[in-house]
Amino acid sequence: MTITVKCKLDLAEEQREAIDKTMEAFASACNDALDIGREVGTASNVKIHDRCYYDLRKDHDLPANLAVRAIARAAGILKDSDRKDSTVRPSSIDYDGRTFSFKEHDWSISLSTVEGRQKPIALDIGDYQKDLLSGRDPSSAVVFRKRINGEVTYYVGIHIDVEEPPPDLGEEHGWVGVDLGVENLATLDDGTQFAGDDVNRIRDRYNRTRASLQSKGTKGAKRVLRRLSGRERRFQKSVNHRISKRIVEKARSEEKGIRLEDLSGIRDRIRGSYKLHSWAFAQLRNFVEYKAAIAGVPVEIVDPAYTSRTCPVCGHEEKENRKKQTEFECQSCGHKENADVVGARNVARGAVCQPAQK
Ligand SMILES: [Zn+2]
């Protein structure tokens, strides 16, 4: 299985110019190759290659393997009935092992362009991408640019092969349902709970220290504050790594997929200072998603509406089912259970609102 790791590029001015020019050249080459394919009436990579490879290189000043990629892109478009009449805009370039390389020691890439090889190009990435790329030797990538709020940002999507074969899921495989919370960071539908005690205790301690430091407002206090929040983040992160690993291992060994609730559910439930920390839940979900992708375990995101107050036994939905934060009691059939476990069971059965992985 191949997954794509999206990384922001930190480009020097001349690197950006070289990539811009290469995007123009690559798109023009794709469009020429599309024209040839349509003229001849073929979507065959080989046939288009035979007719225009040398012209594409000459006309657009393209390195050999970028011409090869442009032809492959054109052939792919011609084979796709939804896109066969479209043209290519200058906003992306396809790279292979000859025209692209990745260096882990300084988290950089090098790219062939019409202005020569550009290296090192720094990746502006966090631990999430580093985890995925570490120890890998990727041999293909797509460089693209996006305009967001008037500003153009450049990315590389690096393709990595994930060696683990997916578990042998049958048609009707089951799901591990995950409920996220504050008291229990994660609760599974079989009743497994990952307590939030440690994280909450440390967070409370930091919050108190933070409050007293903020009231001082000195330079030294600000420095300590930054260090505290760094430590808190690192601690939370290691907890999230541990929990996500266990969830994915469990799903894989039981040959199940994973269902998580959409994060809007938890944002509505949590209160006060915990709201500030909703990044922690987003991180936990990210970790589950990428570890699951590596393990070949499918992940679905479930609409959280009513997951906390619907009876998993009889389906009765009522606010009164959840009189207390921690206890669930069905007003119709009398079923009693820990409220987080009820949430997880409902997520496991869940109404799916969107696929997590494309
Ligand atoms: Zn019931």
Each residue's pLDDT tens digit, 279-332: 788 889 888 988 888 888 889 888 877 778 889 888 888 889 987 878 899 999
Average pLDDT, rounded, for the chain: 87
The pLDDT, as a whole number, for residue 357 is: 40
The pLDDT, as a whole number, for residue 7 is: 95
**189 and 323: one domain?**
yes
On whether the CB atoms of residues 260 and 347 are closer than 8 A, the answer is: yes
**185 and 260: one domain?**
yes
How much distance in Å is there from the Cα of 177 to the middle of ligand 1?
Answer: 19
Query: Would 322 be classed as within a structural domain?
Result: yes
CA 302-269-344 angle, 5° bins:
40
**23 and 74: one domain?**
yes
Per-residue pLDDT tens digits for 235-282:
888 889 889 999 999 999 999 999 998 877 666 666 665 555 677 888
How much distance in Å is there from the Cα of 305 to the middle of ligand 1?
Answer: 17
How much distance in Å is there from the Cα of 322 to the middle of ligand 1?
Answer: 12
Q: What is the rounded CA–CA span in Å between residue 140 and residue 132?
A: 15
Q: Identity (one letter) of the amino acid at 176?
A: V
How much distance in Å is there from the Cα of 320 to the middle of ligand 1?
Answer: 12
Position with higher pLDDT, 164 vs 231:
231
Q: What is the rounded CA–CA span in Å between residue 315 and residue 321?
A: 11
How much distance in Å is there from the Cα of 335 to the middle of ligand 1?
Answer: 5
CA 275-279-284 angle, 5° bins:
120
Taking the CA atoms of residue 354, residue 356, residue 357 and residue 358 in that order, the dihedral angle to the nearest 10 degrees is 20
**140 and 272: one domain?**
no
The residue among 237, 289, 236 whose CA lies nearest residue 258 is 289
**31 and 140: one domain?**
yes
How much distance in Å is there from the Cα of 321 to the middle of ligand 1?
Answer: 9
CA 15-20-26 angle, 5° bins:
120
How much distance in Å is there from the Cα of 299 to the middle of ligand 1?
Answer: 28
The residue among 93, 81, 157 whose CA lies nearest residue 125 is 157
Domain of residue 299, CATH code? 3.30.420
| Structural domain boundaries enclosing 136 | 2-161
Long-range contacts of 264-269 (CB under 8 A, 24+ apart): 264/304, 265/180, 265/304, 265/305, 265/307, 265/308, 266/180, 266/181, 266/304, 268/304, 269/181, 269/308
**9 and 147: one domain?**
yes
How much distance in Å is there from the Cα of 25 to the middle of ligand 1?
Answer: 64
Number of domains in the chain: 2
**69 and 27: one domain?**
yes
**253 and 307: one domain?**
yes
Query: Would 208 be classed as within a structural domain?
Result: no
Query: Would 224 be classed as within a structural domain?
Result: no
Per-residue pLDDT tens digits for 140-157:
999 999 998 889 999 999
How much distance in Å is there from the Cα of 300 to the middle of ligand 1?
Answer: 25
Q: What is the rounded CA–CA span in Å between residue 57 and residue 63?
A: 7
How much distance in Å is there from the Cα of 166 to the middle of ligand 1?
Answer: 36
Residue 34, pLDDT > 60, answer yes
**156 and 9: one domain?**
yes
The residue among 159, 147, 117, 150 whose CA lies nearest residue 7 is 159
How much distance in Å is there from the Cα of 315 to the middle of ligand 1?
Answer: 6
Per-residue pLDDT tens digits for 54-102:
999 999 999 999 999 999 999 999 999 889 899 999 999 999 999 999 9
Neighbours of ion ligand 1 (CB under 5 A): 311, 313-314, 316, 330, 332-333, 335
How much distance in Å is there from the Cα of 284 to the middle of ligand 1?
Answer: 31
Q: Residue count of the chain, please give it.
A: 358
If pLDDT is split at 50, 70 and 90, which confidence band does 221 have?
confident
How much distance in Å is there from the Cα of 310 to the middle of ligand 1?
Answer: 8
How much distance in Å is there from the Cα of 341 to the middle of ligand 1?
Answer: 14
How much distance in Å is there from the Cα of 307 to the middle of ligand 1?
Answer: 13
Query: Would 120 be classed as within a structural domain?
Result: yes
Query: Would 167 be classed as within a structural domain?
Result: no
**157 and 265: one domain?**
no
User: Pick from 161, 185, 215: which residue ends a domain?
Assistant: 161
User: Residue 120, preceding bond cis, omega within 30 degrees?
Assistant: yes
Rounded to 5 degrees, φ, ψ at 106 are -125, 15
**258 and 148: one domain?**
no
Q: What is the rounded CA–CA span in Å between residue 158 and residue 137?
A: 10
**248 and 298: one domain?**
yes
How much distance in Å is there from the Cα of 225 to the middle of ligand 1?
Answer: 48
Q: What is the rounded CA–CA span in Å between residue 334 and residue 314?
A: 10
